[in-house]
Amino acid sequence: MSEKSKKRRGRPSKPVPPAAVIVNAVILFLCKFMPETLAKRVVCMILIALQTPHEEVIELTGKSDRSIRVLKAALRDNDLDSLFVIKPRGVQTTKVAGLENAIFEEIETNNYYNRQQIVNMVREKFGIVMSRTGVSRLLKKKESGG
């Protein structure tokens, strides 16, 4: 090898970006194909498999300490299939479930000019305490046909 080729091989390369930058870029890329929760979980699983320290996994992914411990336990138990499933969030049933039609009929037959009047009517006639925001959601649900 000539002296000239040795010099070219020895030139400095570009520095590698910090791990946090790379992890965030990978998570953003994965978010194009899956929900953010699942993307972060996949990255956590890879970091855990590479035996990255617990605190560093938390710092890099932004997941909670408990989430990381649950992931480690699932990986130890070889329960990989459950890690790729996102459970639907619990949907809270409304206080007025089943009474919506009766409330809408009451609104249509009488003159209610604002949300507070509807809140008061629901409390008086149906014994249900609702907020003005709850009434807004109820009215919006009616408008959308849901």
Q: Residue ranges of the domains in the chain?
A: 19-83, 100-144
pLDDT at residue 28, rounded to an integer: 92
- pLDDT tens, position by position, 98-145: 788 888 888 888 888 899 999 999 999 888 888 899 888 888 887 777
pLDDT digits (tens, 9 = 90+) for 80-103: 888 888 776 655 567 777 788 888
* Other C-beta atoms lying within 10 Å of the C-beta of residue 142: 14
Residues 116 and 119: their CA atoms lie apart, in Å, by 5
Which one, of 113, 92, 100, 102, lies nearest residue 139 by Cα? 100
pTM: predicted TM-score of the whole model, two decimal places: 0.52
Q: What is the CA radius of gyration of the chain?
A: 28
